[in-house]
Chain A
Amino acid sequence: MAGLTGRMSTVVKAKVSKLLDRAEDPAETLDYSYQKQVEQLQNVKKGIADVVTAKKRLQMQECSLQQSVVKLDTQARQAVAAGQEDLARTALERKNVAQTELQGLDTQVTELEDQQQKLTDSEQKLRAKIEAFRTKKEVIKAQYSAAEAQVRISEAATGVGEQMADVGLAMQRAVDKTENMKARADAVSELEAAGTFEDIGQLGSGEDDIDRQLKQLSSQPAVDSELEKMKAELGSGAPAGAPADAPQISAPEAAQAPAPSQPSESGEQA
């Protein structure tokens, strides 16, 4: 914390003294300083727009991941109905991973929303400070001698500069968070690409790397118990593919499920 305090002050002071060094004419310094502030405000706005874009991307990912969960659930039921327990297990494992990812994404979207709000607040504060600087610079130009003006400019520029640094800090933290999320979101995209299947028949081609990784990631007991539950539900007379929590997709897709006339033992792939 001492580091933060020191660094932020140092950065601001260095910038202000650089500013004061560059022009002999106070009026020029003031105008230049104001112009720079307005430019930086534009950068802040751009930064906020980037955070919003990152958030939207995550929200879209959330949406498609939700669809994957529904689809995988349906596929697992179809596999159970077809007596293909291994396939059902794979689908449930993937569903489990997708759900975990979904929870993580949800937390991150909330965090990003929070960051966005803070940045917007900071931007408004900065805008107010810059406006105050604009007023003050005219007063300084009109009322002070060159020597006195130096001091006033330094004070005013420090006031704005500090707010600027503060927005910079908020922005940096938002960017760091966004980067973390991007890495995670990329992983989710891969999962999505691998995680659902055009056709349930594609499931049976044996275990690949992705499957092995998914198995490590997913919680085995949770998958086991869900599979048992599914078997019990489907075994107790309910027709295949009519789960209560996946109504939209299950009915039409269930009709395309492989006929349950296949051998119920799926040991041939093991």
Chain B
Amino acid sequence: MIARISGEGQYRLSDSDAEQMEELRGKALAIVDSGSEDGFADAFAALLDYVRAHGELLGDDELEGSDVILPPGDFSFEEAGREFTGEGLIPD
């Protein structure tokens, strides 16, 4: 599968790596859901680091859609929370 880290690029992940990534993503999401910032930065960094370390970076000339789009590395807890309340980041 292909995961994009917003602002960085797309990574191709094997099935088992993708599973591991989903697990890390679940952890980060659970923290955002809890409403408490404790551990968010670490969990989020762990998720992105995993993708960077295990994924193969796609070339700029490869035209593929991503299966998962992850927020940029400097995404704040506050922004993550806003994502859930619906204000969102993507302009129409």
Query: Which of A5, A118, A156 is close to B63, meaning CB atoms less than 8 Å apart?
Result: A156
User: Is A159 a contact of B29 with CB atoms below 8 Å?
Assistant: no
Q: Which 3 A-B pairs have the closest CB atoms?
A: A159-B63, A128-B60, A3-B83
Q: Which residues of B contact A (CB under 8 A)?
A: 4, 6-7, 9, 25, 28-29, 32, 60-66, 68-72, 74-75, 80, 83-84, 86, 88-92
Task: Give A203 to B72 CA distance when docked, in angstroms.
Answer: 49
Q: Is A210 an interface residue (CB 8 A)?
A: no
User: Is A170 a contact of B72 with CB atoms below 8 Å?
Assistant: yes
B5 to chain A, nearest CB (A): 9
> How many inter-chain contacts with C-beta < 8 Å in the A-B complex?
99
Dominant SS among interface residues on chain B: loop
Q: What are 27 A-B pairs with beta-carbon distances under 8 A?
A: A1-B25, A1-B28, A1-B29, A2-B83, A3-B84, A4-B70, A5-B70, A7-B88, A11-B90, A12-B65, A114-B74, A128-B60, A131-B61, A132-B60, A136-B63, A156-B63, A159-B63, A162-B4, A162-B66, A166-B4, A166-B7, A169-B7, A169-B72, A169-B89, A170-B7, A170-B72, A172-B91
Q: Is A168 an interface residue (CB 8 A)?
A: yes
Please classify how large the interface on chain A is, using the bins under 10, 10 to 19, 20 to 34, 35 or more. Answer: 35 or more
